[in-house]
Amino acid sequence: MSGPSNANDTPITDYRQLVEVMASGEKPIEAWRIGTEHEKFGFRLDDLRPPTFDGERGIEALLKGLTRFGWTPYEESVDGQPARVIALTKGMASVTLEPAGQLELSGAPVETIHDTCKEVGSHLREVRAVADELQLGFLGMGFQPKWRRDEMPWMPKGRYRIMRAYMPKVGNLGLDMMTRTCTVQVNLDYASEADMVKKFRVSLALQPVATALFADSPFTEGKPNGQLSYRSHIWTDTDPDRTGMLDFVFEDGFGYERYVDYLLDVPMYFSYRNGAYIDASGKSFRTFLRGELDVLPGALPTIRDWNDHMTTAFPEVRLKKFLEMRGADGGPWNRLCALPAFWVGLLYDDAALDAAWDLVKDFSMAERNALREGVPTHALKTPFRSGTLRDIAIEALKIAQAGLRRRTKADACGTDESGFLEPLMDIVDANETPAERKLALFHGEWNGSVDPVFREFAY
């Protein structure tokens, strides 16, 4: 999740300013970049419990330890308490905290998947160096496999306090989303409004494929939960006002303005003013635009408010000044590299984008939603027409592989980016997701315990 926006405080006096925020993301193809974000669960090596924020072995101690690698600490004060280190920055990259202390790397915009993997690898080595000193480990999965919600700590961040109070009013699993999930996502650019629309439609239609390939959350509180991506299931009962497949994206006339209208109907969480979060949960941004928000009487929203508000919508694909692919469970290092490879291969090559659109353009709204509903439980085996989602995944991977090869972005050894798809090729060839592999271990050599996952799958 995001922290306060770095955008300016220009008041919004015209609807066009809202549209311009998204239009300002347009870039020529030579300026397109890849931004990869991933989250991971911390755990104490002695008892496997998640670390608290405070203490010699806490999350703040970890953040402070990472400053030795050139990261600059970012502090926040909540309710007048002394400021605490809650994030780190280095250039255009940041390390931030999810509500229960899940550690997130928001990578800098880079040119190639090779660069992404170098960045992720460097970050994980840095985290490992500090974590070893604190006797901590980190695990990449989609859902916390062992601990109950009430056993998860809460981080001292103002926006999370507001969301924590609001979530139970609108869904049953929002607090689980906040405290017990981890994802990997990639942020990608577009050249024009038409380019954005085509990429949005392709990525939204194929988001269930990513969910299936990355499905890795089969356990809840030490037992199988009946899902392969429980993280994905959680989003179906978090908050219907700000989640889902956004059927309107496929309607004629979709563009920046239609997405702005959608965002204006997403209830607010907060406004960040003078270093404090003002609780506006459930209130209308349209009211704010009229200067009639009761918690800020007479105040108009700023571009900063709008940028913050855009981060509080959680559809399967999200538009800001770029497109965010949001359907995947967190996982190990090689899958953190595979997700951007999958989407870059599909969306950053014209022939691949055309082929991907041909693959999905005749999907009906009912079919798209049936895939979204079925994939948390069945993943690649989700029924689709005369076959399964695996058939679509195979075709999508072929298209992505060809797209990456045509990009001809080679490393120092002359290897192109298509090799980063190999973990996904292995999954689709075996027709077995990471979740299914862990379930087989659970019922076999792990003897009905999830504890070995913290040892065998830690970074």
pLDDT tens digits, residue range 405-454? 999 999 999 999 999 999 999 999 999 999 999 999 999 999 999 999 99
Q: What is the pLDDT of residue 80?
A: 79
What own/partner pairs with CB < 8 Å and gap ≥ 24 does 222-227 have? 222/145, 222/146, 222/449, 222/450, 223/450, 224/439, 224/442, 225/143, 226/377, 227/376, 227/377, 227/435
- Which residues, in sequence order, are CB contacts of 98 under 8 Å at separation 6+? 1, 39, 104, 155, 178, 179, 182
Which among 245, 263, 150 has a CA at the least distance from the CA of 207? 245
Tell me what percent of the residues of the chain surpass a pLDDT of 90: 96
Tokens describing residue 35: 């931004």
d(CA 50, CA 47): 9
Q: What does 37-103 look like in DSSP terms, one character per residue?
A: EEEEEEEETTT-PPP-SSSTTSHHHHHHHHGGGTPEEEEE-STTPPPEEEEEEETTEEEEE-TT--E
- 269 vs 258: CA distance, rounded Å: 21
Residue range 77-83: mean pLDDT, rounded: 84
Identify the CA nearest to 48 among candidates 136, 128, 125: 136
How many CA atoms lie within 13 Å of 176's alpha carbon, on the beta-carbon side? 23
Give residue-wise pLDDT tens across range 199-247. Answer: 999 999 999 999 999 999 999 999 999 999 999 999 999 999 999 999 9
DSSP-derived secondary structure for 14-31: SHHHHHHHHHTT---GGG
CB atoms under 10 Å from CB of 426, counted, come to 11
Q: Tell me, what's the pLDDT at 8?
A: 73
Q: How would you classify residue 331: left for phi > 0, otherwise alpha for psi between -120 and 50, otherwise beta?
A: beta
What is the amino acid identity at position 188?
L
* CA–CA dist 253, 166 (Å, integer): 34
What's the pLDDT score for residue 365? Answer: 98
Q: Cβ distance 177 to 238 under 8 Å?
A: yes
Distance, in Å, from the CA atom of 303 to the CA atom of 5, rounded to the nearest integer, reads 9
pLDDT at 407: 97
The mean of the pLDDT values for the chain is 97
pLDDT tens digit sequence for 119-171: 999 999 999 999 999 999 999 999 999 999 999 999 999 999 999 999 999 99
pLDDT score, position 447: 98
* Beta-carbon contacts of residue 249 (< 8 Å; ≥ 6 apart): 197, 200, 201, 204, 317
Helix (H, G, I), strand (E, B) or coil at 408: coil
* pLDDT (tens digit per residue) in 373-384: 999 999 999 999
pTM tops 0.75, yes or no = yes
CA angle 357, 360, 363 (to 5 degrees): 145
Specify whether domain 15-456 bears CATH 2.60.120.260: no
- Give the C-alpha separation, 41 to 353, whole Å: 34
342-352: per-residue pLDDT in tens?
A: 999 999 999 99
Tell me what pLDDT residue 208 has.
Answer: 98
Which of these, 349, 372, 371, 346, lies nearest to 359 by C-alpha position?
A: 346
Question: Which helix H or strand E contains 306, and what residues bound it?
Answer: helix 303-310
pLDDT the model gives residue 9: 87
pLDDT at res. 81: 85
Q: Give dist(CA 29, CA 32) in Å, integer.
A: 5
Look at residue 6 in the predicted model and tell me its pLDDT: 52
The pLDDT assigned to 7 comes to 55
- What percentage of the chain has pLDDT greater than the value 70? 98
